[in-house]
Structure 1
């Protein structure tokens, strides 16, 4: 069975940020990310973007990355889904 974008994104966040087991599973669309998760700092953003590109076979341009992108889990998920559809 093919994993959904949501499932893969939760795994990417867990792997890259080293979240506790099951922590990403509890994320809702309004769960805050940047500024809310201590693990997601400016240094982690670069690694997260690289991993998203690798796992989803997408290209993320610098001008697409802003504070709104990582504001909530829902905003990040919507962005990745849109990138996958456009790819």
Structure 2
């Protein structure tokens, strides 16, 4: 899977989990997430992590997660790609 595919799949999961609708499609790699999307609260982060683990077949430990992981859509996709490698 290439970076663009990972980004697209993470965008789709994020859009579904947060119910962003058409606004989700406008997100790109540089789109800020944490602190910029009111929908992305602590419960949504937990739900999103579960969805990422299930979709990509990865395990995400609490120690793996930091604010920088959720800084932008691109940083989140890069994190997922690294975990799936």
The answer, yes or no, to whether TM exceeds 0.5 is: yes
Give structure 1 stretches of 5+ with no counterpart: none
Q: Which residue is equivalent to 1:75?
A: 75
Aligned length, in residue pairs: 82
1:4 aligns with 2:1: no
Describe how 1:15-54 pairs up with structure 2 within 5 A: 15-21=16-22, 23-54=23-54
Larger RCO, structure (CA 8 Å, separation 6 or more): 2
How far apart are residue 42 of structure 1 and its match?
0.9
Moved >6 Å (runs of 4+): none
- TM-score, normalising length: structure 2: 0.88
Give CA deviations for 1:17-64 in whole Å, capped at 9, x if unaligned. Answer: 00022x222222221101000110111110000000000000001101
Q: CA RMSD in A?
A: 1.4
Give structure 2 stretches of 5+ with no counterpart: none
- TM-score, normalising length: structure 1: 0.86
